[in-house]
Structure formats: structure tokens, C-alpha cells
Chain A
Amino acid sequence: MKPSLEVKIHNLVLKNPVMTASGTFGYGPEFEDFFDPSTLGGIFVKGTTGKLRQGNPYPRMAETPMGMLNAVGLQNKGVDGFINDIYPRIKHYHTNLIVNVSGSTIEEYIEVAEKINSLDHVPAIELNISCPNVKEGGMAFGTSCPSAAAVTRAVREVYQKTLIVKLSPNVTSIAEIAQAVEGEGADAVSVINTLLGMAINAETRRPVLSTVTGGLSGPAIKPVALRMVWQTANAIKIPVIGLGGIMTASDAIEFILAGATAVQVGTANFIDPAVCPKIIEGIEDYLIRHGIDNIKSLISGLNIN
């Protein structure tokens, strides 16, 4: 018998626990040549702000050992651009479309959340309070309990569907931030966004990125992400969505064992644009191999003793 891969995040039913991470999968059409996005558990689309944003100047990317730094800075068409130009092209996907909501002020988060609330085929938003690449805010909200709580509370008041908050790893205690947003009505948390990092070109003695610092992603951050998922899952009751460096099915299983109900795949999409269906298949193979008929029984299944 085929094992069940279905999981639930609040009101969302995911046909499998594999989703794509914001900023790494475009909106879906970019990958249609490689596989059908409807096979995913969900798609987190690119960070969306109140107004169109050009993002940071080039260069925005630096390769690092088993990872990369990015300083894209939330380039996007703005929430109206998303609703008018992009949403019509992706709303037919048979998967959970989740908009990653970003902003510099609480008012901007509210504006975007309210507009997205009206879209029938978007059952959830992910609040990005953890983007290291914009000067005013983003991460500022995600790095202290009072501000993380304030933005969650404000958006919760205007947004009725599933509210996911994406946490920053650039904090002393991620569990405390998770508790703060849970207390304000978040339905789930995503753990983790990128780690703040930096790259220098020794020859030119200049920073590689136009913004000097940027967000580190890829396998390089996986051990940190796993630890944070585990700490967060132990501290809150709402579901944790785990991400950070997932490249294979076994990576995904590790996050689920650490306490994640579902996972997101980010940078791996760049290395293998067809990696997600392989991860889904690999998870199924794992369940069969271990004689597990339902993935839910694997969540927080880490055997410490």
C-alpha cells in the first residue's frame, strides 16, 4: 500500500509536505518545463510588498562553500502587480499558493495582507519578518519579540485565512520569537530565513555584494536550520515548516524528525530545477522502506535516547 504523504498546516491540506521557498521558485511558471508545479504540497511565491520594488543594485549574489549569499532586496511588482499580472497565470495550479508578504512598516504589511485576503486561490500568507536584505525593517521586525508580536497582531486583525510567520535565524533565541508570534495568533511558523553573512574579494579588497552583507542559504546553513526547527518545535504548539539547505529527501526527513510538519525547498531549485518531485518520491520511498504508512507519525520522531 502506498503510504500517505498528506499533512495539515492549520486549514491547509498539503498532498505532500514538500513546498518551494519564497524567492527561489519565482511564481511557478519558471519551472513548468521541468515538472508540474501542481505536484507540490505548496508554493511560496516571491516576497510581495505594497509598491513595486527594484531591489538592490547588482551584484546581488556570491557563491560560498556549499551555499550562496543573496542581496536581491525584495525586487517585485508590488501587491497590485501580483494580483493583476501574476495571479491570473498561476491560480489554476492544484496546490497551495502562499504569498510571502513583506514590508517596511506595519501599515505596509496590513495593506498587502488585506489585498491578498481577497484572492480565492491563495489560502495562506507567510509574513516575512526576517529578510536581511532591506534597510528599513523586514528583519528588524523579526529580531525582537515585541516587534514580531506587533506585526503579527496587526496582520492577524485583518487576515482571516492561514497566517504563517517566517522567522529570522539572526536572533539569540528563535524559540522566544516563535512563542511571541504564536501568542498573537499565528497559525504556523516557517523556520528559517537566510543567515546574515558577507563575502569579500581579496584581490580587489572590496565586498562582493553591492550591499556588503547578504543572506546565506543552501546546505551550508542546514545544521543551523535543523537545530532551530528542533528548538522551535519544542517551544510551540502550532506547526513548524522547516527549511534551510534541503537538497534531498533525506534532508527533508531530518527536518520532519526534528519537528517540522512540512518543509520548503529553496536554493536546491537552482542546482536541480526538477529536485522537488525527486524529494517527494524519495520521501515516499523512505516511508515504504521503514514500513511507515503515514508521514504524520514521523513528525518530531527524533529518537534522542
Chain B
Amino acid sequence: MRKFIHDFHVVENRDLNPGHFVLTLKPDVELTPIFPGQFTEVRVDGSANTFLRRPLSIHDVDYKANTVTLLVQKKGDGTNRLASMKYGETVNLVYPLGNCFHIGSSGERALLVGGGCGVAPLLYLGKVLAKSGIHVTTLMGARTEEYIMEAELYKRYGELLITTEDGKAGTKGYVIHHEIWRERNFSFDRVYTCGPDPMMKAVARLAARHHVPCEVSLEQTMACGVGACLCCVVETNEGNKCTCTDGPVFDPNNLINWL
């Protein structure tokens, strides 16, 4: 798939909660096809401490409006600078990068498990899965009710299940504590997950216990994003692989010390 470097304009910058925001970006040219799970490397101008581009997942794509959406957590200077971007400002993207989630066949049942900001790639995944006739269930883990993000959007493409650490919304605990994982409730053909590594590892083990394929989306630190620097490696059965080109989506069976 061909990669591009394009300037995008900020169409909308919307706060979801004190720690997260959603940026909607539009290029002057027509968007190239983007697949769920792919990411972009964003150049952050106007932030003295941000030298490298920042890898961010594609949260949503709207070909009609010609926009891509990023869901971003405010971490350090780079993401905080992005948080301050105003309507009309320009941001430079290299995209689309990486491989993508596998889209099964119509009639399949898919469980999408996201923790914290890891839900970012799952919205577009749910959209594409639903369009392909796949039954989508999204399981979202949030710290508190305030950090449940864009629930109504996920509901468009299927069922939405929630866990919070204090139990004020949804099931109390982490995503792995949800009753959906119990033998009698579990009826999925495939599991997709993105979030902190410990969460993804636990999810991958649960999927393995239910004997269904699982895909995890990794977030190794990156410099180039195009397979040139070899900084973003992860250990696999076939030696080191680049998260930016061989991933970010991996089968946990192929990752060392994952299952």
C-alpha cells in the first residue's frame, strides 16, 4: 500500500475528558484507502521538545467527508501541543502505516477489547467489521465513568460492554473480569485487542483458553515508522520484527513471552 506525506487541516478538536481529545483532520487531496489497525506518524510543529514524529492510530475514517480522526491521550509535550491545535491549523502526516487487523467473513462474531486509550483503533475496526456483516461486540475498560469515551459511536456498530475500576458504570474491575469471558457466555470467533501490554497479554491468554484467534496491536516506541531504523522491534518466533511495518497488529502466538 502506498504511503503519503500530506498536510492536513484541523477540522475539529474535541475534548472527551481532561486526559483525552479527538482530532479530526482533512487533507487538501483525496484520502488514500486506510485499513483498520493502521497508524500515522504525525509531525508536531511548535513544540520545542518534540523532535520525532508521534505515532498515532487511525481512530476513524470518513471517506465522504474526506477526514481521518485521531483519539489522543495527553502524555507529554507532543500530545499536549496537538491538544492545543485550533480549527484550520495544519499538521503534517505520514500515512497510512503498518499492517492491519484481519477482517473475517460475514456472519462471524468478533470481540473487540480496548483498555484506556487503546480503544483508539477499535472504532474504525468495528465500523469496517460491521460493514462486512460481522457481529461486533466492543468491550471497553475505563478507569472511571468519566473515561468511557464515545460510547454512542461504538454502539452504532454493535453491542458495547463496559468495565470501570470502581464499578460505577458497567462491570467492576478490568476488562478480563467481565462475565463475557465465562464459558457459557463466550460465543466469539475472533478477539481483537489494543491497550496496555499487561491487559493485552491477559486478553490474549483468555482468547487462547477459548481456542479462538486473537490479534493484538502493539505500541513500541518508534523513530521512523517506515521500517528503516529498526528501533521498534518486538521479539517473535521468527526473530525481531518491526512493529511499524510487520505490525502494529500481531498474532500473540508468534510473540515471545506473550501466552
Residues of chain A at the chain B interface (Cβ within 8 Å): 23-26, 30-31, 33-34, 46, 54-55, 57-61, 63-68, 70, 72, 75, 218-219, 267, 269-274
Query: Which of B2-10, B113-121, B171-179 is the contact stretch?
Result: B2-10
Chain A residue contacts of B49, Cβ below 8 A: 65
- Docked pose: A75 CA to B224 CA in angstroms: 16
- Would you call A58 and B51 a contact (CB within 8 A)? no
Chain B residue contacts of A34, Cβ below 8 A: 3, 5
Chain A residue contacts of B232, Cβ below 8 A: 58, 61
Residues of chain B at the chain A interface (Cβ within 8 Å): 2-5, 43, 48-49, 51-53, 94, 220-235, 239-240
Task: Please judge, given known A-B contacts A33-B3, A70-B223, A70-B231, whether A271 and B240 are in contact too, CB under 8 Å.
Answer: no
- Would you call A70 and B229 a contact (CB within 8 A)? yes
- Would you call B220 and A58 a contact (CB within 8 A)? yes
- Would you call A24 and B51 a contact (CB within 8 A)? no
Chain B residue contacts of A55, Cβ below 8 A: 230, 233, 240
Residue of A nearest to B48 (CB): A65
Residue of A nearest to B239 (CB): A54
- Docked pose: A300 CA to B113 CA in angstroms: 60
Task: Please judge, given known A-B contacts A55-B233, A60-B233, whether A30 and B52 are in contact too, CB under 8 Å.
Answer: no
CB distance from B53 to the nearest CB of A (A): 7
- Would you call A68 and B223 a contact (CB within 8 A)? yes
CB distance from B241 to the nearest CB of A (A): 11
- Would you call A273 and B226 a contact (CB within 8 A)? yes
- Docked pose: A60 CA to B49 CA in angstroms: 19
SS class, residues of chain A in contact with chain B: loop
- Would you call A274 and B230 a contact (CB within 8 A)? no
- Would you call A66 and B233 a contact (CB within 8 A)? no
- From A59, A72, A219, A267, give the contact of B230 (CB < 8 A): A72
- Would you call B230 and A75 a contact (CB within 8 A)? yes
A-B contact pairs, 21 of them (CB 8 A): A24-B229, A26-B226, A26-B228, A31-B228, A34-B5, A54-B240, A55-B233, A58-B220, A58-B235, A60-B230, A60-B233, A61-B222, A61-B223, A70-B223, A269-B224, A270-B53, A270-B223, A270-B229, A271-B43, A272-B5, A273-B3
Chain B residue contacts of A267, Cβ below 8 A: 223
Residue of B nearest to A20 (CB): B228
- Would you call B52 and A72 a contact (CB within 8 A)? no
- Docked pose: A75 CA to B220 CA in angstroms: 17
Chain A residue contacts of B229, Cβ below 8 A: 23-24, 61, 70, 72, 270
- Would you call A269 and B228 a contact (CB within 8 A)? yes
Task: Please judge, given known A-B contacts A33-B2, A55-B240, whether A75 and B233 are in contact too, CB under 8 Å.
Answer: yes
- Would you call A271 and B228 a contact (CB within 8 A)? no
- Would you call B5 and A271 a contact (CB within 8 A)? no
- From B51, B53, B230, B235, give the contact of A67 (CB < 8 A): B51
- Would you call B4 and A218 a contact (CB within 8 A)? no
Closest 6 CB pairs of A and B: A61-B231, A26-B228, A270-B224, A33-B3, A30-B228, A60-B231
Chain A residue contacts of B225, Cβ below 8 A: 270
Chain A residue contacts of B227, Cβ below 8 A: 26, 30
Chain A residue contacts of B222, Cβ below 8 A: 61
- Docked pose: A58 CA to B51 CA in angstroms: 20
Task: Please judge, given known A-B contacts A26-B227, A61-B223, whether A218 and B5 are in contact too, CB under 8 Å.
Answer: no
